[in-house]
Amino acid sequence: MGSIVGVNLALLAALLLVPVLGGAFFAWQIGLFLIYGIAAQGVGFAWGRGGFLPLGNALFFGLGAYSAAAVLRVTDGALLVNLLAMLITALACGALAFGLAVLLFRGRIGSGPGFSLVTLALVLIAGQIAETTPALTGGFNGLSGYAPLAGLDPFGAFYYVIVALVMLVSCGFLLIDRLPAGLILRGLVAQEGRLELLGFALHRVKGWAFAVSAFVTSLAGALYASHQGIVTPQAIGFALSAELVIWAAVGGRMSPLGPLLGAVVIGWASATLRDTVAWWEVAVAAVFLLVILFLPGGAMDLVNRALHRLGLGPRPKALPPLAAPASRASTATGALELSDVGLSAGTVTILDGLSLRAAPQGVLCVIGPNGAGKTTMLNAITGRMPTQKGVVSLGGRRLTGRAPHQMLAQGIARKMQVPTVFAGLTVAQNLQLAMLAGRLNWRDALRPAPLRWQGDTLAALLDDPDVPLAAAWLKSAEHLPQGHRQLLELALTLAPDPRLVLLDEPAAGMSPAETQIMVRLIRAYQQRSGAAVLIIEHDMALVEALASEVAVLHQGRVLAQGTLAVIRADPQVTAVYAGGHK
Amino acid sequence: MKRLLITTALGLSLGVAGAAMADVRLGVLVPDSGPAGLFGPSARQAAQLAAEDINTAGGINGEPVELIFADVGLPPAQAVQSVQRLWRAEGVQGFVGMHDSAVRAAIVGQLRGQVPYVYTAVYEGGECAPGTYVTGETPAQQLAPVIPWLAEHEGATNWYLIGNDYNWPRDTNAAAQEIIAASGGSVVGEEYVPLGSSDFDASLGRIRASGADAVLVTLVGGDSVGFNVAYAAFGLDAQALRLGTLIEENTLAGIGAANANRLFASMGFFASIDSDTARAYTDRLTAQFGADAAQPNGMGQSVYDGLMLMAALGNAAGSLDSDAVAAVADGASFSSPRGMATLDGNHVAQTIYLADGSSGAFEVVTSFDAVPSGVTCD
Amino acid sequence: MDTLVLFTLNATWQIAALALMALGLALVFGLLRIMNMAHGEFVMLGAYAPVLAAQLGLPALAAVPICLMMVGLTAWLVERLVVRHLYARMFDSLLATWALSILMRKGAELVFGRQFRNVASPLDGVTQIGAIGYPSYRLAVIALVLAGGLGLWLWYRRSATGLRLKAMVDNPALAQAVGINTARLSAMAFVSGCLMAGLAGMLLAPTLSISPGMGLDALIRSFFALIVGGLGSLEGLALGASVIGGLQSGLSAAFTQTAGYLGVLSLAILFLWRYPDGLYRRR
């Protein structure tokens, strides 16, 4: 897949050759499928980069097409007015999509089929309205009899307008892939939970992805109006939405150019072969099924693999690192305080009036038998589970009621019990994402420099002879052994320089030697930064080595808190541990 | 990849261009897929019989006609792809199409009167684009003679109008309103349901309450079947007769004999028309296609009429040049299993049949000759 | 008064028909977490069973074995070849069954033809309820759905298979560990769900327009009933069918069919957004 410039020049050359080699009629045909292809790229972006599948993107295509047709009719195709109107409609579609996604994803809907079904229902409603309001849309018979954009002949110059949009959109998508914004989206698909812990609001990230998808799809719809000279309810219907998904899937949703390829090849082949090859539609459905079963990356996957084999694969250039700005997480101060926190799920009470204080500096180890509520306590602190009573605060600022993604800005970072890293990404990309956390503002998301950010904490970790991450730089994180994955997650957690580090069994699955390294790294960070560290651990060796203070949790309450010696002497604690282990 | 595509495309178009162009190529646009897909086979067979008849009679200006079919049971954008391919790459000189109005509007926009185009499907009327000729029945044709006849012979005076919610039913009912008023009847209810409805209980309740003694059904396809099945299940057939303007043989088969009591249909063709030409037509279908012969029906058969009109126009004009055809179009006439038809403007005046489907098969009750289309273009 | 009786009967019929149609979809989703987009096509296959029985000159009851064989065999093949590989891959199973639905529709067009078919109602005529004549066949189906639903509910609560199924839903890995053959149970659940769909199609055939394309409507209506009721429980299904069926009947009677349709869609969106677990949440 060479460089961006190379890919785009090849694409441009291929598109410009179409009318030269195939003639005006062929270019007109391909023009329609390029328009569909842009819309499919929009679907592919939401699906492949946003991780959610819109089943109703013809909504934006249709809105773009209908409003373009209406404006073309009134203005007789005048160029500037129409370009402006197209842009305004596309922006409105983007805003609509953003609002919709934020609203839905902020709720409990997740990236699952729930969202897809909402978009499906929306496009059914839109199709019904388009069909039954003839005054507005011309009804079933459609809106026609208007001049094309700037009077351009759909069989002539208009093709180059389509090519221009294809180039703009493709360049845009290829560029986004190489910017922090693209990395964040990859992180979203790879591991939502970690991205949230890194301080990114998932519903807003998904909102932007859907907005871009809608913006692009609406522009495609606007060109469709000029290309066809008629807009009918099919342009806003479920059937088109479904086809966009098929094209994106078969072409390859993970690649910016895949859906374009899918739309042009399947669309053109259908138009040409439909009347001569019996069973053509069955064949397309069968191909779709086979792709779902055996080739999730679509046709572009095959192309990329072939390019790779020919030695044309991507060769990441190592650029010198840049000093990262200060992290927002590093400025917080104060003690963590939980007072009388209650949390129950269903009829089971998990936290039962828990009160706990962690000093602004030092290492507090929380121990306790299974089911004591240790991990739930972390969930209550980080806003992952709603509490029913009590208050959690840090340095006097109330944390209760805040969303998980707001915790990093409060200075809180968390390492999960099961190592949670961006599985599909390389170690390098994992760490790049961690360096963006707490430091990125929205303008930075669209310039490449932040990808080279490096901080002292991360540099110290990578320079450590016992940390093998630098050697595995370009390895995918899912292929790391368990112990290395724990270290990677520790790096992800510490890179934003948090003031309160929550570690949930950091040594789980590690050998004694690896545990030693972990202990050393945690202590080093604590001493260098003067942060507070709260560790949940079963491994008493680790507790002994690290803890400046220990708290014992039992049945959702703090049984005892103090130095290790005090805890060891506490008769209540010994009773629980004697009885707790069956 | 892209270059490969282009070279194959080139190969295809060159190959086509190199083929013999001696015959007169006519594009026949029929629905092979989509909701109207069930009319595809009968439309293709009708076209083949028409081509035979035209060629037996000497073709168009002495040249035999060759038919090239394309599926247009698709969204308009995809349908016009086929039309353009036939026109630009395969040298088609005239089009005959049987499809929905959205596709027609798109085709008219593409052809812009440069090639003669005959539209044959039942439709709402109003098509006046140059170079476009219509043989399909209009609401005025299907209703103007029929409603007074039903009032006189069946006592139908209180009409309830129900249709799918789009242009054709709304325009048909607008025409029906005027005709019913003129014939002394009244409209006791009018409603529209979304395309693809399957639940008509509320509508049936309203029909019962309205006291209607006749229902004009402008539902299409599966909706019409579902409505009529439920209608009979509720025993409404005893209260009010039904008149459909798009209930042909396939729809009636879906409704079933048990549900078709007092179900009338008004169209330009039924398989059971009692005339020599109509019987000869259905006999030839069975003889030629045997077990594959599709159930003849007004929608499919209309393609035969369309081709006959195209041939008549070409022969009268001396060519299929669109200007030459336009000059001779008005008054051109042709005969078909439906009877004689004459172009009046760009629509035809034709025979309309009223059939009763009570037995589960249509029996023609009466017919009306040379009914004008009611469409005037200026 | 008559209007109210008629409305109540109509609403009951809508609810019963919807619950019947959605049952198979609920079963497959509830047990396997698979959104079976080909559900409607299994309803379609079932509806063709009485058509075939009539064509072959067999008595009406012969439709039952024809339906079970035709639908069962198709479902078994589909499970073996496609669905089996997609358990726990929600999007992929959704898209794959969607592709299947296209294939099955086209297959039906080739085998049965595109034309509409009619199934004569085995129970003709209307039953007088007060001043209202209501189709007897509909009343019979309502009674059957009530009895069948109750029976199924009792069976699921009491039987050993029901227990194993519940274990599998709650924790597939654990169920496997304690010796439940989850692969076979999953296959059984999928085929049963499809058979339910087929039987629904067969029972509703005399009241529907039968053609290869009839599945989409069945699918969409079933989906919305499940969304509102809560995915994957019998109680939720009954509740969802009641709300959707009732709302559609009510809005259609009070306003227009279009209002009913748009109302159902809007309600579905509201539920997906605010109450993704539906009205009935299983504990």
When CB atoms are compared, the residue of C124, C126, C253 closest to B202 is: C253
- Provide the token pair at A256: 């910016």
Indicate the burial class of A6 (C-beta count within 10 angstroms; 0-12, 13-18, 19 or more): exposed
Give C283's pLDDT tier (boundaries 50, 70, 90). Answer: very low
The answer to whether residues B16 and B121 belong to one domain is yes
A-chain CB neighbours of C37 within 8 Å are none
CB contact under 8 A, A124 and C220: yes
CB contact under 8 A, B9 and A26: yes
pLDDT reading at C281 higher than 70: no
Identify the top-confidence range among A64-68, A328-332, C88-92, C184-188.
A64-68
- Provide the token pair at C228: 């509102």
CB contact under 8 A, B167 and A134: yes
Q: Which of A451-460, B17-26, C244-253 has the lowest mean pLDDT?
A: B17-26
Predicted confidence at residue A319, as pLDDT, reads 80
The answer to whether residues B6 and B38 belong to one domain is yes
Amino acid at B62: G
A-chain CB neighbours of C224 within 8 Å are 121
Give C180's pLDDT tier (boundaries 50, 70, 90). Answer: confident
A-chain CB neighbours of B71 within 8 Å are 274-275
The residue length of chain A stands at 582
| Tokens 């509740």 belong to residue | C239
Give C192's pLDDT tier (boundaries 50, 70, 90). Answer: very high
Mean of pLDDT values over A271-275: 86
Amino acid at A463: D
Q: How far apart are CA B105 and CA B76, in angstroms?
A: 8
CB contact under 8 A, B78 and A28: no
Q: Which residues of C touch B (CB under 8 A)?
A: 3, 6-7, 10, 13-14, 109, 113-121, 124-126, 133-135, 137-138, 206-211, 213-214, 216-217, 221, 248-249, 252-253, 256-258, 260-261
**Extents of the domains making up chain C:** 2-274
Give Cα separations from A97 to A328, B231, B324, C274 (angstroms).
30, 43, 53, 18
Amino acid at A8: N
Q: Is residue B350 part of a domain?
A: no
- Percent of chain A whose predicted confidence (pLDDT) is above 90: 62
A-chain CB neighbours of B88 within 8 Å are 25
CB contact under 8 A, B13 and A232: no
Q: Interhelix angle for A4-44 vs A238-251, to 10°? A: 140
pLDDT reading at A232 higher than 60: yes
Q: How far apart are CA A404 and CA A410, in angstroms?
A: 10
Q: Is the ipTM of this complex over 0.85?
A: yes
| Tokens 């963590």 belong to residue | A336
Give B10's pLDDT tier (boundaries 50, 70, 90). Answer: very low
Minimal CA–CA distance to B4: which of A295, A287, A290, A261? A261
Cβ–Cβ contact A8 with B under 8 A: no
Best residue in A275, A300, A303, A307 for a mutation probing chain B (most B CBs within 10 Å): A275
Cβ–Cβ contact C86 with A under 8 A: yes
Cβ–Cβ contact B225 with C under 8 A: yes
Minimal CA–CA distance to B146: which of B363, B355, B362, B361? B355
Mean of pLDDT values over A537-553: 89
CB contact under 8 A, A288 and C99: yes
CB contact under 8 A, B1 and A275: no
pLDDT, tens digit (0-9, with 9 covering 90-100), for A340-397? 999 988 788 899 999 999 999 999 999 988 888 899 999 999 998 889 999 999 988 9
Cβ–Cβ contact C85 with A under 8 A: yes
Q: Is residue B372 part of a domain?
A: no
Q: What angle do CA A281, A285, A286 make, to 5 degrees?
A: 115
Q: What is the mean pLDDT of chain A?
A: 90
Domains in chain A: ranges and CATH: 12-309 (1.10.3470), 328-580 (3.40.50.300)
pLDDT reading at A1 higher than 60: no
Q: Which of A523-527, B16-20, B312-316, B368-372 has the lowest mean pLDDT?
A: B16-20
The answer to whether residues B186 and B74 belong to one domain is no
Predicted confidence at residue A471, as pLDDT, reads 86
Give Cα separations from C32 to A114, A264, C89, C187, C188 (angstroms).
17, 36, 10, 9, 11
Predicted confidence at residue A313, as pLDDT, reads 64
Q: Interhelix angle for C257-274 vs A113-132, to 10°? A: 160
DSSP assignment string, A125-147: HHHHHHHH-HHHH-GGG-EE--P
A185-205: string of b/e by CB count within 10 Å (b at 16+)?
bbbbbbbbebbbbbbbbbbbb
Predicted confidence at residue B22, as pLDDT, reads 61
CB contact under 8 A, B194 and C257: yes
The answer to whether residues B197 and B323 belong to one domain is no
Cβ–Cβ contact A346 with C under 8 A: yes
Phi first, then psi, for residue A513 (nearest 5°) are -65, -40
Q: How far apart are CA B59 and CA B53, in angstroms?
A: 8
Q: Is residue B371 part of a domain?
A: no
Give partners of C (≥3 CB pairs < 8 A).
A, B
Minimal CA–CA distance to A270: which of A254, A256, A287? A287
B-chain CB neighbours of C225 within 8 Å are none
Of B200, B234, B267, the last residue of a domain is: B267
Cβ–Cβ contact C88 with A under 8 A: no
A-chain CB neighbours of B89 within 8 Å are 25
Indicate the burial class of C128 (C-beta count within 10 angstroms; 0-12, 13-18, 19 or more): exposed
The answer to whether residues B101 and B59 belong to one domain is yes
CB contact under 8 A, C273 and A293: no
Give Cα separations from B225 to A348, B222, B260, C217 (angstroms).
55, 5, 10, 15
Q: How far apart are CA A39 and CA A58, in angstroms?
A: 8
Q: How far apart are CA B97 and CA B37, in angstroms?
A: 14
Q: Is residue B243 part of a domain?
A: yes
Give B2's pLDDT tier (boundaries 50, 70, 90). Answer: very low
The answer to whether residues B105 and B194 belong to one domain is no
When CB atoms are compared, the residue of C113, C120, C213 closest to B256 is: C120
The answer to whether residues B263 and B311 belong to one domain is no
Q: How many CA atoms lie within 13 A of A325 on its CB side?
A: 12
When CB atoms are compared, the residue of A25, A132, A232 closest to B102 is: A232
- Percent of chain A whose predicted confidence (pLDDT) is above 70: 97
Give Cα separations from A91 to A84, A174, B361 (angstroms).
10, 21, 57
pLDDT, tens digit (0-9, with 9 covering 90-100), for C196-238? 999 999 999 999 889 998 998 889 888 888 888 876 677 888 8
Q: How far apart are CA B254 and CA B273, in angstroms?
A: 21
The answer to whether residues B130 and B252 belong to one domain is no
User: C2-274 has which CATH code?
Assistant: 1.10.3470
When CB atoms are compared, the residue of C91, C99, C269 closest to A122 is: C269
pLDDT reading at A181 higher than 50: yes
> Chain B: residue nearest C220 by CA?
B196
> Chain C: residue nearest A287 by CA?
C99
How, if at all, do strands B363-371 and B347-356 pair? antiparallel
Cβ–Cβ contact A418 with C under 8 A: no
Distance from CA of A112 to the nearest CA of B (A): 28
Predicted confidence at residue B4, as pLDDT, reads 44
Give B145's pLDDT tier (boundaries 50, 70, 90). Answer: very high
CB contact under 8 A, A113 and C91: yes
CB contact under 8 A, A293 and C283: no
Q: Is the CB of residue B341 less than 8 Å from the CB of residue B334?
A: yes
Q: Which residues make beta-bridge pairs with A323?
A: A454
Predicted confidence at residue A582, as pLDDT, reads 36
C-chain CB neighbours of A107 within 8 Å are 273-274, 276
When CB atoms are compared, the residue of A107, A249, A286 closest to C274 is: A107
Give partners of A (≥3 CB pairs < 8 A).
B, C
pLDDT, tens digit (0-9, with 9 covering 90-100), for B27-53? 999 998 888 888 999 999 999 999 999
Amino acid at A485: R
B-chain CB neighbours of C121 within 8 Å are 233, 258
- Provide the token pair at A402: 């805040």
Q: Interhelix angle for C257-274 vs A79-106, to 10°? A: 60
Give Cα separations from C59 to A133, B258, C46, C56, C135 (angstroms).
48, 17, 16, 9, 22
Widest CA span of chain A, in angstroms?
A: 91
Q: How far apart are CA A415 and CA A493, in angstroms?
A: 6
When CB atoms are compared, the residue of C7, C118, C248 closest to B256 is: C118
Q: How far apart are CA A128 and CA A140, in angstroms?
A: 10
Give B76's pLDDT tier (boundaries 50, 70, 90). Answer: very high
Q: Is residue B377 part of a domain?
A: no
Predicted confidence at residue B364, as pLDDT, reads 96
pLDDT reading at B5 higher than 60: no
Indicate the burial class of A282 (C-beta count within 10 angstroms; 0-12, 13-18, 19 or more): middle
Q: How far apart are CA B6 and CA A31, in angstroms?
A: 14
Q: What is the CATH number of the domain that holds B296?
A: 3.40.50.2300
B120 vs C239, higher pLDDT: B120
pLDDT reading at B351 higher than 90: yes
pLDDT reading at C152 higher than 90: no
Chain A 442-501, residues with CB within 8 Å of chain B CB atoms: none
Q: Is the CB of residue B158 less than 8 Å from the CB of residue B186?
A: yes
Q: What angle do CA B201, C35, C181 make, to 5 degrees?
A: 125
Give Cα separations from B265 to A347, B153, B358, C118 (angstroms).
65, 15, 11, 18
Domain, as residue range, for B83: 2-137+274-345
CB contact under 8 A, C137 and B233: yes
Best residue in B2, B29, B119 for a mutation probing chain A (most A CBs within 10 Å): B2
pLDDT, tens digit (0-9, with 9 covering 90-100), for B328-340? 999 999 999 999 9
pLDDT, tens digit (0-9, with 9 covering 90-100), for A424-457? 899 999 999 999 999 998 889 999 999 999 999 9
CB contact under 8 A, C272 and A125: no
> Chain B: residue nearest A238 by CA?
B75
Minimal CA–CA distance to B55: which of B43, B45, B67, B69? B67
Distance from CA of C223 to the nearest CA of A (A): 9
**Overall number of domains in chain B:** 2
Q: How far apart are CA C236 and CA C229, in angstroms?
A: 4
DSSP assignment string, C23-58: HHHHHHHHHH----TTHHHHHHHHHHHHHHHHHTT-
The answer to whether residues B190 and B283 belong to one domain is no
Mean of pLDDT values over A453-468: 91
